[in-house]
Amino acid sequence: MTSLFTIYTANKYSLKIILMAVFLFSQLLTAEPYIAVRTGLKCSSCHVNITGGGKRTEFGNIFIQRYLSSNFVSSKGNVNFSPQLSRFISLGGNLRIRNTATYGYTHTDTAGTKTSAEAGNFLDITEGNIYLEVKLITDRLTFYIDQMVSPNPDNREAFGLLQGLPGRGYLKAGKILLPYGYRLWDDEIYIRESTGFTYSDPDIGLEIGFEPGNYSAVAAVTGNQVSAVASWVRTHYRLGLSWQKATDGSNINMIGIFSGFNAGRFTFLGEIDQIELAQKRNEAYFAEMNFLLIRGLNFKITYNLFNPNLEIPLGRDGQERITFGIEVFPIQFFQLALFYNLNSFIPQNLEFNQNSLGFEMHFFF
Amino acid sequence: MKNLPVINLISATIIMVFFPSCAGDGWGLDEYGNELDSLSAAPSDTNGTPPNVDNFEIIQNTIFNSICAIKCHKSPRPKKDLNLEDGESLNYIVNVPSEGKPLMMRVKPFDPENSYLVWKLEGRDGISGKQMPLNKTPLEDSQIELIKNWISMGALP
């Protein structure tokens, strides 16, 4: 495979690519993963699914009640809510309701012809999931279900998890979200959409992982691909590599690097992926800066860049999105978010030049 | 370590200032970002049969454009490297090996029973992944029949 971080010395964007690389590597800079980077914790500290996402652990539930929100509204007796139905069975859930307003966009071609994309407004349930965790043998054997109930009923994950292997190892088998890069909740972020490692792309397979000390190594095998992630996690920074190879004869291969860094109230994430398809290669870039003003109030700027075809200079076919957002956790189990997406693509494409304003309510436990 | 937040903020600002001009100018490209001169024609009609324009246009307009290419199978990041947008779809399906079963073509002209597209739409045993459209109501029988008929007629543009 060609070197991942190809520098396009022949075009005027070389400096920008280099700056991006500097941003990622020289300071180890690098969605909800920002919370893991901010706290210096592995995904498995707060999520039952060791590679992140889905149901929270008991620690994760205490964390979202006592440390994530700006206020703690106590129930009678000042006790923490517990999602445990019994000592061995517990539930979890996520519900996101989003209103997106898209702005109109007009393009005038060289002949003076105008084409327009109309403004619109959409109200959606973007995530409605219920999780079930059954601890068959505490800390050794777990039965886990991640069921989407809205907008369309469907099973997202269903696996058995065997823990306690040497090297803090585990084995997971069933329908799983395959490991690759940061598991961001927004499937439309370029690094997730272009690689196909999204919440809407689970597969049936086997996953094995080891988490000794500050290290983590995970590999998964399905009927048509193999993917693996290796990462090094320290309190203030982390660095990881992702890799994927198709095993079904199709020529789809990927490699990526991701990193995260926390400094005071600032938290940075970054990821670059190169995707090799049958007919072309492309690259996706992601950089995010979070600023925690006070507990429960986070400002976010995200930069996304996509190079759809490495054979065509980025200056001709590049696509980018910059997102400015505010996230508020006013009370436990509740999040409000306001995001403005600044979209830019080739001017003749109307849809991907429409900016949008999103407002989201998120209930979770 | 004390100055790191300031350094990081400056770095991020530099990135944000420099990068927002990276969107392409679109020169020599179609609206999906493909080279205009490389837009290969759909498979040619080697038998001299008049192309069944209406049939495919209906499929493109009522199925591909309306269902498949709204969010997933569209530029610039078509899912599974399968672009079903207007003007692109034929290049990605006719006589193109499928990802799920590389020995099968997505569309094998004159042979709907051995066209992987039909298998995926009908959710047959042996497909890789889920029935399409993903997480939506399956296509109506009449819609699948339309596609099968089109393939039986040679999958012409």
The ipTM is 0.70
- d(CA A78, nearest CA chain B) in Å: 37
Provide the 10 A C-beta neighbour count for residue A170.
20
CA quadruple B3, B6, B7, B11: dihedral, nearest 10 = 170
A contacts of B85 (beta carbons < 8 Å): none
pLDDT at A301 over 60: yes
Q: State residue A329's pLDDT score.
A: 96
A24 vs B59, higher pLDDT: B59
Phi, psi of A193 (to 5 degrees): -65, -40
Give the pLDDT confidence of A92-115 residue by residue, as tens digits. Answer: 999 999 999 999 999 998 888 999
Interface check A150 vs B, CB under 8 A: no
Beta strand A89-102 with A356-364: parallel, antiparallel or unpaired? antiparallel
Interface check B16 vs A, CB under 8 A: yes
* Residue B140 to residues A32, B128, B132, Cα–Cα distance (Å): 39, 21, 12
Among the partner residues A263, A316, A322, nearest to B29 by beta-carbon distance:
A316
Give the pLDDT confidence of B98-145 residue by residue, as tens digits. Answer: 877 778 899 999 999 999 999 999 988 888 777 898 877 889 888 899
Q: State residue B134's pLDDT score.
A: 82
> In the predicted model, what is the mean pLDDT of chain B?
78
- A64-81 in b/e form (b: 16+ CB < 10 A) is bbeebbeeeeeeeeeeee
Among the partner residues B11, B18, B102, nearest to A248 by beta-carbon distance:
B102
Q: State residue A91's pLDDT score.
A: 97
Q: Which of A27-36, A232-241, B26-35, B131-140 has the lowest mean pLDDT?
A: A27-36
Interface check B123 vs A, CB under 8 A: no
Global pTM reads: 0.75
Two tokens, residue B88: 């692109």
Q: Are the beta carbons of B23 and A320 separated by less than 8 Å?
A: yes
- d(CA B130, nearest CA chain A) in Å: 9
Q: State residue A28's pLDDT score.
A: 31
Q: Are the beta carbons of A20 and B76 separated by less than 8 Å?
A: no
Q: Are the beta carbons of B24 and A318 separated by less than 8 Å?
A: yes
Among the partner residues B22, B28, B79, nearest to A314 by beta-carbon distance:
B22
B98 vs A176, higher pLDDT: A176
Q: State residue A14's pLDDT score.
A: 46
Q: State residue A22's pLDDT score.
A: 36
Q: Are the beta carbons of A15 and B23 separated by less than 8 Å?
A: no
Q: Are the beta carbons of B135 and A15 separated by less than 8 Å?
A: no
- d(CA A266, nearest CA chain B) in Å: 7
- d(CA B92, nearest CA chain A) in Å: 10
